[in-house]
Amino acid sequence: MNRAPGSWQWDDVRFFLAVARAGSLSGAARVLGVGHVTVGRRIAVLERRLGVTLLNRTPDGFATTAAGDAVLRQCMAMETAALDVERVAAGRDSLVSGSVRVTTTEMLADQLVAPATAALRRAYPELRIDLTLGVRSLDIARRDADVAVRFAKPSAPDLVCRKLGDVGFSLYASPRYLARSGVPTRGQGLAEYDLITFTGAPGAMSPFFMGESLEGARIALRCNNPLIQLKAAANEVGIAELACLLGDSSPDVVRVWPDVPPMRRAAWLIVHQDLRRSARIRAVSAAIGEAFRDRRKSLEQGFRGASR
C-alpha cells in the first residue's frame, strides 16, 4: 500500500536512531543487518518526507542537526513505546516456539546454555536460541536480549533476577612461568607479576585476582575471551584469573595456590518483568537452571578441587 506524501512510519525511525547512535552509515548498517547504501537512502527519504535535515556529515561521522535533536527525542519515546508493546505481547505468548535471544559469557555458554539448548530442542523442536557471547552487558529493556546469564546483578527495577548459584574462580599460570617468576605469596599482592585480564569487566565482579593488591603488577594482556586468556596463560604470558571449570580443564596451567579454595561469584539469570510469563522464556530459564544444578559441584569447585 502506498503511503501518502509526508507520511512516515516506525521503520523510518529505526534507521534514524541507528545512525544517530552509531555516528556512521556503516555502523548503523551492522546494527540493522542491511547495506550502508540502504541506510543512506532511508535517511534521505525520511528527511524528504519531514522537510528537514536531520543529520550532517562531519569529519568524525554523522551528527544530528538542531532539528535532528528535537526529532531524536521524540523518536526515542516512540522506540520505548514500541518496545513496550513488543515485550507485553511476548510476555503473553503461550507457545514454546520461535526465537529467544540469550546473552552470556563464553564459559557459561559452554557449560549452561549449550546443554540447555540440547534439552530444549528435544522437548521443543520449534524453539531457537540466538546466542550472543561476551562480558558486555546488553540492554534487556531495549530487547537487545531476552535472557541474560551474568555475574553482575543489575539494579534496574524492571528486571527480574534469579540466582542460579556460585561459580568458583582461581588464579592460573603455566608451571614454567611460575618456575621462572616464582610463586606469589598469598596476601602479599602481585607486584612484579604479569597479569592477563579483561577489558572493562563489570565492577560488580570485583574483587579481581582473588582480592590481591595489583599495585606494581604488569598488565600483559587484556582480552574479553576467557579461552584466549587460558591460551595466553598456557603460553607463559602471565597469571590469569579463570573459572575453575575452565582452568582445570587445561593440562598446561596449574592453580597458583592449589591449597586455597576458589573465590566464588554468583551467577544470575535475568529477564525483563514483562517477559517472565512468556512460555518460551520460562522454558529457556528452566532449562538453564536445570543445567546449572546438574553441574553445580564442578562450577563451584572445578575438576581438581582445592587441596585440604
- Grid coordinates given for 151: 555475574
Instruction: Measure the CA–CA gap between 187 and 270, rounded to whole angstroms.
Output: 34
Q: Which residues contact 66 (CB under 8 A, 6 or more apart)?
A: none
What is the reported pLDDT for 212? Answer: 95
Q: Is the pLDDT of residue 229 over 50?
A: yes
CATH architecture of 171-256: 3-Layer(aba) Sandwich (3.40)
Q: Is 168 helix (H, G, I), strand (E, B) or coil?
A: strand
Instruction: With CA atoms as reference, report the closest residue to 275 among 99, 124, 147, 125.
Output: 147
Instruction: Measure the CA–CA gap between 198 and 105, rounded to whole angstroms.
Output: 12
For the chain, what is the mean pLDDT? 84
The stretch 252-267 carries a mean pLDDT of: 95
- Residue showing cell 565482579: 205
| pLDDT per residue as tens digits for the range 35-50 | 888 888 888 888 888 8
Instruction: Return the half-sphere exposure (C-beta side, CA atoms, 13 A cut-off) of residue 200.
Output: 4
The stretch 245-260 carries a mean pLDDT of: 95
CATH number at 10-91: 1.10.10.10
* DSSP state, residue 153: P
The stretch 179-206 carries a mean pLDDT of: 88
C-beta of residue 158 within 8 angstroms of C-beta of residue 141? yes
**Confidence class for position 195, pLDDT limits 50, 70, 90:** very high
The stretch 198-208 carries a mean pLDDT of: 74
The stretch 300-305 carries a mean pLDDT of: 80
Most confidently predicted of 9-18, 136-145, 244-253: 244-253
What is the reported pLDDT for 7? Answer: 53
What is the reported pLDDT for 31? Answer: 82
Domain ranges (residues) in the chain: 10-91, 98-165+266-301, 171-256
Q: What are phi and psi of 166, to 5 degrees?
A: -110, 150
Secondary structure (DSSP) of 258-292: TTSPPEEEEEEEEEETTTTT-HHHHHHHHHHHHHH
Q: Is the pLDDT of residue 68 over 70?
A: yes
What is the reported pLDDT for 193? Answer: 97
Cα separations (Å) of 223 from 9, 112, 241?
A: 41, 22, 12
Fold equal for 10-91 and 98-165+266-301: no
| pLDDT per residue as tens digits for the range 98-143 | 888 898 888 889 888 888 898 888 888 888 898 888 765 555 655 6
C-beta of residue 94 within 8 angstroms of C-beta of residue 79? no
Q: How far is CA 35 from the centre of its chain?
A: 25
| pLDDT per residue as tens digits for the range 144-168 | 788 999 888 887 788 889 999 999 9
**Confidence class for position 14, pLDDT limits 50, 70, 90:** confident
pLDDT: which is higher, 26 or 179: 179
Cα pseudo-dihedral 281, 283, 286, 291, rounded to 10: -110
Q: Is the pLDDT of residue 230 over 50?
A: yes
| CATH superfamily ID and name for 98-165+266-301 | Periplasmic binding protein-like II (3.40.190.10)
What is the reported pLDDT for 84? Answer: 62
What is the reported pLDDT for 183? Answer: 97
Q: Is the pLDDT of residue 2 over 50?
A: no
pLDDT: which is higher, 147 or 205: 147
The greatest distance separating any two alpha carbons of the chain, rounded to the nearest whole angstrom, comes to 77
Secondary structure (DSSP) of 193-257: -EEEE-SS--GGGPSPGGG---TT-EEEEE-S-HHHHHHHHHTTS-EEEEEHHHHTT-TT-EESS
Percent of the chain, pLDDT > 90?
Answer: 37
